[in-house]
């Protein structure tokens, strides 16, 4: 094994990363620094401190990154109306660049010569963590235990814990969800268990943030979002921080059955994977942001953004947040958002998000021109004849030359 003095581990305090912490100490004979991020996953992160101390770890980082996560990662992504393969709102993907950044920063602060994570060799997260780390610190060493060890089942992990006196809540392990789950302020993901059969419907009891649309209230809920340069800054007239905005929308959206998703997606490593996601707040944000842009963006700017979005979504999904191409696109996207200001009123009802109204001082909607009533000469309808003939010119020429359409 390579000689290492200190490794920074992305540490949740759960079974896998607790085993990894001990495994790193034994395998590499190195000091381990743990880093636990609170991204709004809904579980206490402080217990990770006691677990780390019990394994003799002296440098323990536990950080509340909720505001930074939404402000600097989620909101910039939503300015692009980002969605992967037509459906996925990238809740797991967008959290990884922030974690990678802090792993590298902590490595610099503590003098560590490596970082480590608990992502498996089958998934996307290993790529996301490591691409980010290498972009931010080219010479960093990355240790991915799932690509090195043979502890490839929960039973083997539990046996390892028994052999190495790693404290485990056995009762909790026995009642643990059968799904592999990841949560943050933007979403919860579910994989594994019966979901590995794409024909099986997800169990109702699996969902944690949302009621089923059938069980949602029979009366719609209206919410007004205030936008400033593409970001929501207030809800129903109350100023809110980015994280508070998402927390609020998660609650009101979940209560109305908003944001459930069941998809088969294409992983970057090559395989197809079935996953279920709960993204109530993000589902509302996407719909509302497109509504305010429809009012304020120039047509060609809006269409160009839509054309770039799938490429931008792939960059985030595949782990290229810290790439120059993503930053280039972000600059263009953010420039377009300078005029994306105003209010959007959304209607939430039994799993659906509808737009009930939108208004803006930067609106390009001109009722004097768009009206179906007398426009007092604001628009000369005779101009349309020449416009149509010029746009048809190439097709008229081709038809006149005998070109056949198939």
Measured at the alpha carbon of residue 89, what is the angle toward residues 86 and 91, in degrees to the nearest 5? 150
Out of 3.40.50.10540, 1.20.58.220, 3.40.50.620, 3.40.50.2300, select the CATH number for domain 6-66+91-176: 3.40.50.620
**Binding site listing for L-citrulline:** 88, 93, 124, 128, 180, 189, 265, 277
3-state helix/strand/coil string of 317-344: HHCCCCCHHHHHHHHHHHHHHHHCCEEE
**Residue 385 confidence class, pLDDT cut points 50, 70, 90:** very high
180 is catalytic: yes
**Binding site listing for L-aspartate:** 120, 124-125
DSSP code of 146?
G
Cα 133 vs. chain centroid, distance in angstroms?
A: 19
125 is catalytic: yes
DSSP code of 55?
T
pLDDT digits (tens, 9 = 90+) for 183-238: 999 999 999 999 999 999 999 999 999 999 999 999 999 999 999 999 999 999 99
Q: Classify domain 182-297+340-359 by CATH number.
A: 3.90.1260.10
What are the sequence ranges of the domains in the chain?
Answer: 6-66+91-176, 182-297+340-359, 369-400
Q: How far apart are CA 22 and CA 157, in angstroms?
A: 11
Marked catalytic residue, from 72, 113, 180, 267: 180
**Binding site listing for ATP:** 10-18, 37, 118
User: Which residues partner with 260 through β-bridges?
Assistant: 278
pLDDT digits (tens, 9 = 90+) for 337-379: 999 999 999 999 999 999 999 999 999 999 999 999 999 999 9
Marked catalytic residue, from 125, 260, 274, 326: 125
pLDDT digits (tens, 9 = 90+) for 117-164: 999 999 999 999 999 999 999 999 999 999 999 998 888 999 999 999
User: Among positive and negative, which fits the CA dihedral 126, 130, 131, 136?
Assistant: positive
**Residue 173 confidence class, pLDDT cut points 50, 70, 90:** low
Marked catalytic residue, from 96, 260, 274, 358: 96
362 is catalytic: no
Q: How far apart are CA 75 and CA 82, in angstroms?
A: 10
Structure tokens at 342: 């105003």
pLDDT reported for residue 170: 58
Q: Residues 6 or more apart from 205 whose CB is under 8 A from it?
A: none
Indicate whether this model's pTM tops 0.85: yes
Write phi, then psi, for 232 (nearest 5 degrees): -75, 125
- Does 6-66+91-176 match 182-297+340-359 in CATH topology? no
**Binding site listing:** 10-18, 37, 88, 93, 118, 120, 124-125, 128, 180, 189, 265, 277
């Amino acid at each position: 094994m390579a000689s290492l003095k200190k490794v920074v581990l992305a540490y949740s305090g759960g079974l896998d990363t607790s085993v990894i912490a001990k495994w790193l100490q034994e395998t590499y004979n190195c000091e381990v620094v743990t880093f636990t991020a609170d991204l709004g996953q809904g579980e206490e992160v402080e217990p990770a401190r006691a677990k780390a101390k019990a394994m003799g770890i002296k440098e323990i980082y536990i950080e509340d990154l909720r505001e930074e996560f939404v402000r600097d990662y989620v909101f910039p992504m939503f300015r692009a109306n980002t969605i992967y393969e037509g459906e996925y709102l990238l809740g797991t993907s967008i959290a990884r660049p922030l974690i990678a950044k802090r792993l590298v920063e902590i490595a610099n602060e503590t003098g560590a010569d490596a970082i480590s994570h608990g992502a498996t060799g089958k998934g996307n997260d290993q790529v996301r963590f490591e691409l980010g780390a290498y972009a931010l610190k080219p010479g960093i060493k990355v240790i991915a235990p799932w690509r090195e060890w043979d502890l490839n089942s929960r039973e083997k992990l539990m046996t390892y814990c028994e052999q190495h006196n790693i404290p485990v809540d056995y009762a909790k392990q026995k009642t643990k969800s059968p799904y592999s789950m990841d949560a943050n302020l933007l979403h919860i993901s579910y994989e594994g268990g019966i979901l590995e059969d794409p024909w099986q419907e997800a169990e109702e009891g699996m969902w944690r943030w949302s009621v089923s649309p059938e069980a949602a209230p029979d009366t719609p809920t209206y919410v007004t979002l205030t936008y400033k340069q593409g970001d929501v800054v207030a809800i129903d007239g109350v100023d809110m921080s980015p994280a508070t905005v998402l927390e609020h929308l998660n609650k009101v959206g979940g209560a109305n059955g908003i944001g459930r998703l069941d998809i088969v997606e294409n992983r970057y490593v090559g395989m197809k994977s079935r996953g279920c996601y709960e993204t109530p707040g993000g589902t509302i944000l996407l719909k509302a942001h497109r509504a305010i842009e429809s009012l304020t963006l120039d047509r060609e700017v809006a269409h160009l953004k839509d054309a770039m979005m799938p490429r931008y979504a792939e960059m985030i999904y595949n782990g290229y947040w810290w790439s120059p191409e993503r930053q280039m696109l972000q600059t263009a996207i953010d420039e377009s958002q300078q005029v994306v200001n105003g209010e959007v009123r959304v209607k939430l009802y039994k799993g659906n998000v509808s737009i009930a109204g939108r208004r803006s001082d930067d609106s390009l909607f001109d009722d004097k021109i768009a009206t179906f009533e007398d426009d007092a000469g604001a628009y000369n309808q005779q101009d349309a004849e020449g416009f149509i003939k010029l746009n048809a010119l190439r097709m008229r020429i081709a038809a006149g030359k005998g070109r056949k359409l198939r």
